[in-house]
Amino acid sequence: MGCWLAMTELNLSTNQLRVLPDDVDKLVNLEVLVLSNNMLKKLPPQIGSLKKLRELDLEENELDAIPNEIGFVTSLTKLWIQSNKLISLPRTI
């Protein structure tokens, strides 16, 4: 992901992704991340390092939890999480 450092928007929807790479934290300028309609079961805690992230679309996956580190993304204004297997949300949100 090193060559994508300047990227501000990334849409990976509808790709049957099962895992988001741990080095997602290298995308330091990312503002919009769309991961909807995949098969994600969990997110790496490194998601909390995306300090510029404003919008995160996680709808229609298989997530049963969201890492507490999501609360460190203080710029986040929109979070789509419908149609997952979530039981609760982290207290950090």
Query: Would you write out the chain's pLDDT as a tens digit for each of its 93 residues?
Result: 557 789 999 999 999 999 999 899 999 999 999 999 999 999 999 999 999 999 999 999 999 999 999 999 999 999 999 999 999 888 888
Distance (Å, whole) CA 65 – CA 51: 20
Q: Provide the residue count of the chain.
A: 93
Burial class (CB in 10 A: 0-12, 13-18, 19+), 5: exposed
The pLDDT value recorded for residue 1 is 56
The pLDDT value recorded for residue 15 is 98
The pLDDT value recorded for residue 5 is 82
pTM to 2 decimals? 0.92
Looking from the CA of 74 toward its CB, the CA atoms found within 13 Å total 0
Q: CATH number of the domain at 2-80, out of 3.90.1150.10, 3.80.10.10, 3.40.440.10, 3.40.50.300?
A: 3.80.10.10
Backbone angles phi, psi at 2, to 5 degrees: -55, -35
Sheet containing strand 32-34, edge to edge, reads 9-11, 32-34, 55-57, 78-80
The pLDDT value recorded for residue 54 is 99
The pLDDT value recorded for residue 2 is 57
